[in-house]
Amino acid sequence: MAEKLERNERKVRRGYVVSDSMDKTITVSLEQRSTHPLYGKVVRSNRNVKVHDENNEAHVGDFVTIMETRPLSKTKRWRLNAIVERAK
């Protein structure tokens, strides 16, 4: 009965920070690409999500990876995983 329970694989996404004006929270823009079913054109759409940034490390323009987590507030369901590239 001492079996170890495995966690489900958590979603990981990459995007650019568009706002860091809140305390311990950043807004990340996630780009989704899909092909149109009839015409075959690549259609891009953006979605902004609130991300938990515990140490206020990320700034506007940074390219980051985020990971899905439990609900942290009314709108936050993601947390900062790593900063891939700093803004210049």
| 5 part of a folded domain | no
What residues form DSSP beta bridges with 25? 22, 52
pLDDT at position 1: 58
Which structural domain, as residue segments, surrounds residue 22?
Answer: 12-85
Q: What distance in Å separates the CA atoms of residue 78 and residue 29, rounded to the nearest whole number?
A: 12
| 4 part of a folded domain | no
Contact 62, 85 (CB under 8 A): yes
| 2 part of a folded domain | no
Mean pLDDT of 6-17: 92
Q: Tell me, rounded to whole angstroms, the distance of Cα 29 from its chain centroid.
A: 8
Mean pLDDT of 17-38: 97
Among the residue ranges 2-6, 11-15, 84-88, the one predicted with the least confidence is: 2-6
Q: Taking the model in full, what pTM does it have?
A: 0.85
- At residue 18 the predicted structure's pLDDT band, cuts being 50, 70 and 90, is very high
Mean pLDDT of 59-71: 97
Q: CB neighbours of 31 closer than 8 A, spacing ≥ 6?
A: 15, 44, 45, 46
The total number of structural domains in the chain stands at 1
